[in-house]
Structure 1
């Protein structure tokens, strides 16, 4: 809010005409939007293209289920534990928060169709959660934070989302030594910190450190880190 109680000017203009879209895009490219303005821009864009994004996501999902070596392997291991993941319970939706995907034992896997991340990495990440749920019979609704930290470590490590070139080119993480471990630790800590029963990022980091050695070393169902 401004000093007089007015809504803060974010630089973003609401509307759906071609001229308004161009004006907002120009402001985005030239730095004319505040952080809130950029959030509004992304939100409106995601809602406008939700149908197209979901169709593309569903097409890519179906391809991965049929042809991706890591997705096919994980699905075989999940099936062997009594699970059943398929196109009907791996759903593509528009997400209006920072989530890239999610796993729920009752509903299956959520893929955020509007997120610019490799779908294979996201799907593999959530499938590791599904595997861990079936293997440990963990309560994902009221999950113990140590269990949450362990499955987040494993999912980040085994899915491919922390491989060197993804960190180097897309996230600006340019360290060479222990780059994979630092990525896994960072992403697991962020995920644990978002749990409702976690106080803050300090507690999240402490819990990740407590379970790190055993959980990072556990590469099941792979013999080693796949990629």
Structure 2
């Protein structure tokens, strides 16, 4: 193999597979025989390769959930019924620098943060959460800059998506406060989202707004008949 061919291969993440990739990784970790330029190139390749793998995995999970998940299919159907323009065309995977699993934009659709998705179940919960926002936006004409509107949709999304299911909370926080774990999780997640709203002053205001609307929004399970914890 010529030097020019070797250089081209080294800079092409798609070609770095199997033994070749791991040999380079070990070389990088040990630092043996690695020039500063080669180290920089490896870091670049690693970033690109990781993002490509995360993206492919995210889209595979998305497609599987849209085809087989009862809750995703149910929410997608009901969001579309109330006028949400949501389909696989605008449910996209992308890299997110923020600590978030996904996001909804009324005009652009839904983003799934490929670098934050931990499993198929995590993606299922995240996609369902964002589909609740899509449903709410069209059903209730949500003003996302109104903190009470925002808080209500976040409460509903965390309640209905499954992300606060009891076993998840027990694994995170133990058995203490068993009877209130579900509600505590919903409030916590809603307050974190509201705190990021540009019209929210601070964490304390977010928590206060969530508390103000919690009872009525927590009880509103539309389009579901009830919530399974």
TM-score (ref. length: structure 1): 0.78
Provide structure 1 residue ranges, at least 5 long, that are not aligned to the other structure: 1-16, 25-43
Counterpart CA distance in 1 for 2:28 and 2:179 is: 44
Counterpart CA distance in 2 for 1:224 and 1:190 is: 25
* Structure holding more helix per residue: 2
Counterpart CA distance in 1 for 2:50 and 2:205 is: 38
Say which SS state the counterpart of residue 138 (structure 2) adopts: helix
Q: How far 1:22 sits from its partner (Å)?
A: 3.2
Counterpart CA distance in 1 for 2:103 and 2:48 is: 20
Counterpart CA distance in 2 for 1:172 and 1:155 is: 21
Q: 1:218 to 1:46 in 2, by over 3 A?
A: farther
C-alpha contact (below 8 Å) 1:193/1:200 kept by paired residues:
yes
Counterpart CA distance in 2 for 1:23 and 1:130 is: 49
Q: 1:147 to 1:177 in 2, by over 3 A?
A: same
Q: Tell me which of 130, 134, 137 is aligned to 2:134.
A: 130
- Please provide the CA RMSD for this pair: 2.1
Say which SS state the counterpart of residue 87 (structure 1) adopts: coil
Q: How far 1:179 sits from its partner (Å)?
A: 0.7
Counterpart CA distance in 1 for 2:164 and 2:47 is: 26
User: What is aligned with 1:220?
Assistant: 222
C-alpha contact (below 8 Å) 2:147/2:194 kept by paired residues:
yes
C-alpha contact (below 8 Å) 1:164/1:179 kept by paired residues:
yes
Q: How far 1:202 sits from its partner (Å)?
A: 0.5
Aligned length: 190
Dislocated runs of 4+, deviation >6 Å: none
TM-score (ref. length: structure 2): 0.77
Provide structure 2 residue ranges, at least 5 long, that are not aligned to the other structure: 1-23, 32-44
